[in-house]
């Protein structure tokens, strides 16, 4: 269920390797009503120096070597989730697994918030297939720099807003 006007945060993680605890970048976009009211991007020093996905997102160890770990970043990250009704993500199972793995690795309690998947939303509302982020953004006219965490998170937020504005959420 997408709440029609409540506050939510759209999230997007980029990972360094195949393990879900390897977050190296996160974008968070806060929406109140149908307005983006805050956005934040953080680089994260993952637990390993190995970067498999630099070719996708352009991030390598040199970009994050001096950045905070997830545990060190947590207070700033968690405050972005204050008073939200849900977290939105494109392919939410991925971002949820990264968040849970990072919390577990840092010995932190994960946020107890429902996740809403904008892939499922796009398929349900607009019958889009494929429903990958570039396809949905092209359909809705949303600008996107794919695999840039803040751009992906903002696009996800705008997908939910579009669904709300068209009476589907």
- Set out the domains of the chain in order of their start, with CATH numbers: 8-165 (3.30.420.10)
Helical residues (DSSP H) of the chain, grouped into ranges? 54-57, 61-64, 70-79, 92-105, 118-126, 133-140, 149-165
CB half-sphere exposure, 55, CA atoms < 13 A: 1
List the structure tokens of 166.
């068209």
What pLDDT, on a 0 to 100 scale, did the predictor assign at position 166?
81
* Beta-carbon count within 10 A of 18 CB: 9
What pLDDT, on a 0 to 100 scale, did the predictor assign at position 124?
94
Residue ranges of the chain with per-residue pLDDT less than 50: 1
What pLDDT, on a 0 to 100 scale, did the predictor assign at position 3?
53
């Amino acid at each position: 269920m997408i709440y029609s006007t409540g506050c939510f945060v759209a999230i997007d993680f980029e990972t360094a390797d195949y393990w879900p605890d390897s977050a190296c970048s996160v974008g968070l976009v806060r929406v109140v009503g149908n307005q983006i009211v805050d956005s934040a991007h953080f680089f994260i020093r993952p637990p390993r120096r190995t970067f498999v996905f630099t070719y996708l997102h352009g991030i390598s160890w040199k970009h994050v070597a001096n950045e905070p770990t997830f545990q060190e970043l947590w207070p700033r990250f968690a405050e972005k989730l204050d008073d939200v009704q849900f977290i939105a993500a494109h392919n939410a199972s991925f971002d949820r697994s990264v968040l849970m793995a990072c919390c577990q690795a840092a010995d932190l309690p994960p946020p107890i918030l429902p996740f809403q998947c904008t892939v499922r939303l796009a398929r349900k509302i607009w019958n889009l297939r494929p429903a990958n982020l570039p396809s949905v953004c092209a359909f809705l006219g949303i600008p996107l720099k794919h695999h840039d965490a803040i751009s992906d998170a903002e696009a996800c937020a705008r997908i939910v807003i579009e669904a709300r504005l068209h009476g589907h959420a």
